[in-house]
Each structure stands twice: as C-alpha cells, then as structure tokens.
C-alpha cells in the first residue's frame, strides 16, 4: 500500500519505520528536516509538503502534537488533495471534539476516517507493540485494522468517531489518579514504619493492587525495573501526562461529568510540571510527597 505519514517525531518515526518493514511504500512529511532525514534512513520516501506526500496515497496516517495542528493539516492539505479512496487515520492524542469534527469534515468530503490514538511510549512505537484504540464506523475500522496491526500488538474498536480519543483520555485519567494514590500510599506506609518491599508484596496481593504499583512502581528498588530505578528518566513524561489530563478535564466539562479525582490529579501534575519536572517520568511525582 502507498501510505502517506505526517509527523515523524518520537512516536511517528518508529511507527513509519514499522510500516516500511511490513512492506508498505511510505511517503513521509514532517516540518522538521531532521525527522524527515531519519525517516528516509528507515526506508521512507521524503516529500516537501503534506500535499505532495498524500498524492496517490491509499491511506494517510498522522502522528502530530495537538488538535489544532491536526485540524489545520487535514483541512488545508489532506481533505481535498488526497484521493477520495484514501483511508485517513489520525493516531495523535487530541481532544474528542476536534477528533469528531475533523472526521465529520472528512466524511462530508467523501473520505473514511478513524481516530486511532495509542497506548505505549517511544519504545512501543519503535518495537511495533502499541495498543490502538479506534473510533469510527465498522467499515472504516475493518480497513484500518491491518494497517495499524503493522505498528501495534493490539487494535481495538472503541466505537464511533471520537471513541478512540475518549477511551485514551479516560484510561490516562485513571492512570494519573492511580499513580498519585500509589505514591501517597507508599509514602504513608514508610512513615508508619512499614518496609517498602513488604508493603509492595502485601498490596500486590490485596485490594489495593493496581498497574501503577505492580507494573510501574514509583519506588526505586521495589517491584519490577521501572523509570524509578533510572532516576525517573525515560518512560512517560510528566508533560505528556499533564496534556492528557487537560484533555480529560476539557472532555469532562463538555460532557457535564464530575471528575473530582481527575481534577485533583490534573492540578497536582500541573504544579509538578511547572516546577521544571516536565521531562521526568510521571511516577517522579512521588518526590513531592
């Protein structure tokens, strides 16, 4: 397949390389010359604009920073210039409202489009082990699945347009809140004189068990190897967690949903990010407790 790929940054670079490995002809564009050069090294063809990259494409995949950019790229250079037969897949993490409006504009113009945000970081993007949460019609999902499968280990149909983004931000709101709750439980346990490893072993087998503890323990030297064991370097950056929490708060406001724990998590991550910790793994928030 001829696949146009827009946005070859930390995530998109590895994803595009996996599409090349799967035998696709990848037509790449990024505003950054460095990102484009790397994509060429991985076997993609580089183009000077989105319009040139989408010419004759069977599918267009985008992995961009935010909703405003996604809207601009699709409205200006994809919807219209890409063949009407091309399937459009936006894998960026953006707000639900923009995901729905861009897909609606694409559908009105005769395209099929899905929102397909990912779970998993840069290592999963490079390794082809991302999880895709897909919003769109059953038909569009059926077309998207084999393309996404070349970049991930799981491709799940979440529902109609926007449902992929909804699943992503609800999951990450739960993750942000559960990480802070895990951090404070370990800190309290310590203050009460409990050995951290002993508390891990007990809580892992008791009702407090959760992913933030058993798979991603924020305490160095406890549980499996995590970013905590590497000075909170790598992993999932605080700035990206904050981005997802802000998207969740915006969606909650639009939907009239009460999210007091998510709201508090957003404020705590905002303060942690503002203190200069945006590049640290999100589990480093334990340092504030």
* Residues at the site binding ligand NAD, with contacts judged by CB under 6 A: 6-12, 29-32, 35, 63-65, 69, 73, 92-93, 118, 121-122, 236, 240, 243
Q: Residue 74's closest CA among 56, 40, 100?
A: 100
Q: In the 8-state DSSP scheme, what is residue 91?
A: -
Partners of 161 in the β-ladder: none
Least Å distance, CB 208 to ligand NAD, is: 27
CB of 131 to ligand NAD, least distance (A): 10
168 is catalytic: yes
Q: At CA 77, angle to CA 239 and CA 66, rounded to 5? A: 10
Cα torsion through 55, 61, 64, 69, rounded to 10: 50
In three state form, how does the secondary structure of 161-175 look? CCHHHHHHHHHHHHH
Closer CB to ligand NAD, 236 or 269, in the complex: 236
Q: How far is the CB of 31 from ligand NAD (least distance, A)?
A: 4
156 beta partners: 133
> Would you say the C-alpha torsion 131, 81, 66, 250 has a positive or negative sign?
negative
Q: Which is nearer to ligand NAD, 3 or 189 (CB)?
A: 3
Closer of 40 and 205 to ligand NAD (Cβ)? 40
**CB nearer ligand NAD, residue 97 or residue 289:** 97
Catalytic residue among 21, 168, 243, 246: 168
| Shortest Å distance, C-beta 95 to ligand NAD | 11
The residues annotated as belonging to the active site are 168
């Amino acid at each position: 397949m001829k696949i146009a790929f827009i946005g070859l940054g930390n995530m998109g670079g590895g994803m595009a390389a996996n599409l090349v490995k799967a035998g696709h002809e990848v037509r790449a564009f990024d505003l950054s010359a460095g990102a484009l050069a790397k994509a060429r090294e991985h076997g993609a063809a580089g183009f000077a604009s989105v319009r040139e990259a989408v010419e004759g494409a069977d599918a267009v995949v985008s992995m961009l920073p935010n909703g405003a950019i996604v809207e601009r790229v699709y409205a200006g250079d994809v919807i219209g210039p890409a063949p009407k037969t091309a399937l459009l897949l936006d894998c960026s993490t953006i707000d639900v409202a923009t995901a729905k409006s861009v897909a609606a504009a694409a559908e009105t113009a005769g395209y099929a489009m899905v929102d397909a945000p990912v779970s998993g970081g840069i290592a999963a993007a490079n390794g082809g082990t991302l999880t895709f949460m897909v919003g769109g019609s059953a038909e569009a999902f059926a077309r998207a699945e084999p393309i996404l499968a070349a970049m991930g280990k799981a491709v799940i149909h979440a529902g109609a347009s926007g449902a992929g983004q909804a699943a992503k931000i609800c999951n990450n709101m739960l993750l942000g809140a559960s990480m802070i709750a895990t951090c404070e439980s370990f800190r309290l346990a310590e203050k009460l004189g409990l050995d951290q490893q002993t508390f891990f072993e007990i809580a892992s087998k008791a009702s407090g068990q959760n992913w933030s503890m058993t798979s991603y323990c924020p305490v160095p030297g406890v549980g499996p190897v995590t970013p905590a064991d590497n000075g909170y370097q790598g992993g999932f950056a605080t700035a990206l967690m904050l981005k997802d929490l802000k998207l969740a708060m915006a969606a909650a406001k639009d939907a009239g949903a009460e999210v007091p724990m998510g709201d508090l998590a957003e404020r705590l991550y905002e303060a942690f990010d503002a203190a200069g910790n945006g590049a640290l793994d999100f589990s480093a928030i334990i340092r504030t407790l």
